[in-house]
């Protein structure tokens, strides 16, 4: 359930997928596909969701065509915002998916 805070913003509890990545070095790239890796993460979230509830999963990624094709086109995440990192001042897209 979302909650309106004192600043007039809604806070919505969600599962965060952080540091999902692949090693594209020769030989290591074939050990698991990105789809399999994301499926394993979503499977764990589904098990947790059954126990504690929740309906959203969020992640952040760089604005690169390959990443957006993977997350948005293949795995049905949608963009809901952008965030600039403090340490590197990179812009990251914020994506979400209902589960």
Residue 86, token pair as written in the block: 């403090």
Q: Where are the domains of the chain?
A: 3-98
Q: Report the alpha-carbon distance of residue 49 to residue 76 in Å, rounded.
A: 18
pLDDT tens-digit map of 27-46: 766 778 888 989 999 999 99
- Model's pTM, two decimal places? 0.72
Residue 46, token pair as written in the block: 């589904």
Neighbour tally for 70: CB within 10 Å: 16
Residue 17, token pair as written in the block: 């997928």
Instruction: Give the CATH number of domain 3-98; options: 3.40.50.720, 3.40.630.30, 2.40.30.110, 3.10.620.30.
Output: 3.40.630.30
pLDDT tens-digit map of 65-95: 999 999 999 999 999 999 998 888 899 999 9
């Amino acid at each position: 359930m979302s909650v309106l805070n004192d600043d007039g913003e809604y806070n919505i509890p969600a599962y965060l997928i952080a540091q999902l990545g692949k090693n594209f070095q020769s030989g290591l790239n074939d050990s698991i596909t990105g789809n399999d890796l994301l499926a394993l993460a979503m499977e764990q979230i589904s098990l947790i969701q059954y126990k504690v509830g929740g309906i959203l999963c969020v992640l952040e990624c760089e604005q690169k065509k390959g990443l957006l094709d993977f997350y948005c086109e293949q795995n049905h995440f949608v963009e809901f915002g952008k965030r600039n990192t403090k340490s590197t001042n990179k812009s990251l897209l914020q994506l979400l998916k209902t589960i």
